[in-house]
Structure 1
Amino acid sequence: MAINRRHFLGWLTATPVILANFASQASAAAEPLYASASQGQDGQYYLHLFNLQAGELMRHPLPERAHQIATHPEYPWLFAVARRPGQFLDVIDYQQQKRVKQIRCDADSQLCGHAQISTDGQWLLTTEQSMHSEFGEIVVRAIDQDFNIVARLSTYGIGPHELRIGTDQQTLIIANGGIQTDGRVKLNIDSMDPSLAYVDMHTGECLEQVRLASKFHQSGIRHIDLSASGQVIMAMQYEGHPADRVPLFASHRRGQPIQPLALPDEVHSQLQQYGGSACFDASGNYAAVSAPRGNLITLWDMQTGQFIKALPVQDGCGLAKTHQAAEFLVSNGLGRLYRLNAQTLQRQLISESTHFSVHWDNHLANLAVS
């Protein structure tokens, strides 16, 4: 999401109540903005907006725990999506610091934690699971029609989670976890069927669908990211035996099979079969995949598919690219933020993050100031 610099500066000038001691810094406008869901020390759930020089810019209360924060390409809006199996999605105007709309999905459906906004800003797309449908759905809402539902597209798989809009701006890329659930209870571990699906966002046609080898059918594909060249990186969560040696991370390009990303045995054994967020850097040549249960962030050369290193971050899960190639911002459940670099292999604690007094949720969004 690109934010007009003039509008951003005007916002800072017009709203001194948003921690003016930070916002008055002239350098703040040059830094990207980041957003994340969180839980405060008071137990309340929040949507946070901040940058690394100005610090915290907004802390907006949410009705329940959120998972992903999506951004709008034109409006100063953030979309806080409920954690699965929640049913709310709050649209927040971060300039006005107020809620624009609270969307509730149908009573017989649940949100799956993720959303995207079409590149023209017209459509809100959410992954949802209805109790009346075998497959998950992409529910399409018209933003300029008070978020009314205008289409429901099949995800061609059970338990959809994260989605991306393809580089052609016409294709939806969907991570189907393959797990049937009742609330958060998993019902079909023995017959899981995870997949990565490419769906035409206008016709709903399945253009391509790929799976890992059948012996890895309990590796649920949960989180993905997409590079400018069309490469997908995916993080998986394995539901089989804790000692099994299975892929947890993989990459994909259209027309090719999924390529598992190989980890050294000593790293794989620490991850507890759980991949968190996946993120490409600004260049698209490097990627980071978090492993919060293993307290590690894995770094990858995506041109070769080679593992670079795993850097320790306790309960680190949220990932976002910065404006620097090979650099990532990491958030953790202890309320800390770190810079990680896939070239220098350095890890730097962001000292300002020690003042936030929150527990960051699983995902981090970058709102680049243009």
Structure 2
Amino acid sequence: MQRRAFLASLIAATATPRLTWADAGSPAFLAAAKTHAGAYVLQGLSADGETLFALPLPARGHAATAHPTRPHAVAFARRPGTFALVIDCATGTEQARLTPPAGRQFNGHGCFSADGSVLYTSEVVAETSEGRIGLWDSASYTRLAEWPSGGIGPHDIKRLPLSEDLIIANGGIATDPADRRKLNLDTMRPNLTRLTAEGVIADQAELPGALAQNSIRHLALLPDGTVAFAMQWEGDPADPVPLLGLWSGGVPRLCPRDDADAFVMQGYAGSIAYTPVIDDIAITSPRGGAVQVFARDGSPRATLRRADACGIAAGPGGFVLTDGNGVISQVTAEGLTPARRTELSWDNHLIALA
């Protein structure tokens, strides 16, 4: 009888269809937002910006990551974070609420392994800002292990295409665990770190000494494995420093603009994306109200203006852009065009699911 019961349960389990992203409406993007009533939500958006689902968050969100096959989104709190919420976007139910171990804080970003079995989270040791990468089993969302990130204050984290290696943006800034006050601006050393599937540092690069206060924050991956990275300048605001860099091993290559265009960004790149549609890279500045577009080799193409623009991702015609005033815009080779107005204040990032 026990064998019959086991076989019956096995048949039932295999007969139950596994939900996919199609069951959640096949969203093209995920984005955190704030409603006019002051509530925080995670939105699933179609390719043209239509809302497919809106799920509540317990506090302000930052970025999100999507499971490669299951319709699970992990929404991360704004750093220093105390929650990462795993949401089944097909059913609208909370699957798990991850809490960092004692003495750790989430730092806004994460990604999945290629097969989706492991969730990686960027974290810091609260008292020192030493970087950690948390590993979580995605079947049970229990903690498996943690690795050193290779630096101070890791933020964005990406898995390289066709690989299990991770790229970490170690921002270099030590912060007060309670109020985010920056503690080491005179001695910060941001870096890019490549970790193997075993958590071993395979490669690492720092910026030149004169740019050591250019915090490496966000990442975009090009098809050949080149890492495009966006920076935020913590030095003298009168210095027009580059905010985009490219790295494929060895010394990073920085991509300056002329002084006038550099000052438009006010030393701050809030997000970055690459689109294969027009083979361009874009960085955004909510402080400057600007989007700067570069060719794949880092040469400048255009500076476009949009108030409080920050979230950006590859879209059907080039890029899709979100801003804090609720507008979703298209950025193409022809320029920037507002496409949809919403009753939301979009947060920092627009995450493409493809």
TM-score normalised to the size of structure 2?
0.90
Specify the code of the residue in structure 2 equivalent to 1:361.
D
Within the alignment, does 1:314 sit opposite 2:310 as a pair?
Answer: no
Which residue of structure 2 lines up, in the alignment, with residue 195 of structure 1?
191
Map 1:214-225 → 2, pairs under 5 A: 214-225=209-220
**Structure 1 position 246, deviation (Å):** 2.0
Q: In the TM superposition, what is the alpha-carbon distance from 1:205 to its structure 2 partner?
A: 1.2
Q: Any stretches of 5+ residues in structure 2 without a counterpart? A: 1-18
Residue 203 (structure 2) pairs with residue 212 (structure 1)? no
Whole-Å Cα distance in 1 between the matches of residues 24 and 147 of structure 2? 37
Please, which of 231, 244, 251 is the counterpart of residue 226 of structure 2?
Answer: 231
- How far 1:291 sits from its partner (Å)? 1.4
Aligned residue for 1:186? 182
Using the alignment, how far apart are the partners of 1:249 and 1:179 within structure 2?
18
Q: Is the 8 A contact 1:227 1:284 kept in 2?
A: no
Identical positions, percent: 32
SS of corresponding position for 1:185? coil
The Cα shift of 1:132 comes to 5.9
Q: 2:321 aligns with which of 326, 330, 342?
A: 330
Alpha-carbon distance in structure 2 between the residues aligned to 1:9 and 1:151: 32
CA distance in 1, matches of 2:150, 2:224: 24
Structure 2 CA distance, aligned partners of 1:272 and 1:157? 26
* Cα gap change, 1:9 to 1:151, in 2 (>3 Å): closer
What amino acid maps onto 1:272 in structure 2? Q
The corresponding residue for 2:157 is 163
Residues 1-370 of structure 1 aligned to structure 2 (within 5 Å): 33-53=28-48, 55-131=50-126, 135-144=130-139, 146-183=140-177, 184-202=180-198, 204-254=199-249, 256-283=250-277, 285-302=279-296, 304-324=297-317, 327-341=318-332, 343-344=333-334, 346-351=335-340, 354=341, 356-368=342-354
Distance in 2 separating the partners of 1:8 and 1:281: 22
Secondary structure of the equivalent of 1:113? strand
Structure 2 CA distance, aligned partners of 1:132 and 1:150?
22
- The alpha-carbon distance between structure 1 residues 209 and 334, as it changes in their structure 2 partners (threshold 3 A), is same
Using structure 1 for the length normalisation, give the TM-score: 0.86
Q: How far is 1:107 from its partner?
A: 3.3
Deviation at 1:9, TM superposition (A): 5.7
- Tell me how far apart the structure 2 counterparts of residues 103 and 55 of structure 1 sit (CA, whole Å): 29
Q: Say which SS state the counterpart of residue 195 (structure 2) adopts.
A: strand
Instruction: State the distance in 1 between where 2:311 and 2:201 align.
Output: 30
Q: Secondary structure at the match of 1:361?
A: strand
Which deviates more, 152-161 or 264-273? Answer: 264-273
CA contact (8 A) 1:197 1:209 kept: yes
Q: Is the Cα–Cα contact under 8 Å of residues 228 and 284 in structure 1 kept in the other structure? A: no
Rounded Cα–Cα distance in structure 1 between residues aligned with 2:48 and 2:185: 45
- The amino acid of 2:197's aligned partner reads M
| Shift in Å, 1:227 | 1.2
- Assess, with a 3 A threshold, how the Cα gap between structure 1 residues 123 and 59 changes in structure 2: closer, same or farther: same
Matched residue SS, 2:151: coil
Give 3-state SS (helix, strand or coil) of 1:268's partner.
Answer: helix
Report the 3-state secondary structure (helix = DSSP H, G, I; strand = E; otherwise coil) of the residue aligned with 2:150: coil
2:7 aligns with: none
Aligned with 2:287: secondary structure? helix
User: Which residue is equivalent to 2:15?
Assistant: none
Q: C-alpha separation between the residues in 1 aligned to 2:49 and 2:214?
A: 40
CA 1:170–1:9: 2 relative to 1, 3 Å: closer
Structure ranking higher on relative contact order (CA contacts 8 Å, 6+ apart) = 1
- Kept after mapping to 1: 8 A contact 2:173/2:182: yes
Alpha-carbon offset, residue 131 of structure 1: 3.2
- 1:350 aligned counterpart, secondary structure: strand
Q: CA deviation at 1:134?
A: 6.2
Task: Tell me by how many angstroms 1:367 deviates.
Answer: 2.3
**Which amino acid counterpart does residue 42 of structure 1 have in structure 2?**
A
1:282, CA displacement in angstroms? 2.6
| 2:351 partner amino acid | A
Separation (CA, whole Å) in 2 of partners of 1:240 and 1:10: 48
- Residue 304 of structure 2 aligns with an amino acid whose one-letter code is L
Name the SS for the 1:181 alignment partner: coil
How many Å separate the matches in 2 of 1:37 and 1:233? 23
Deviations 1:277-302 (A, max 9, x none): 11110358311111111111000101
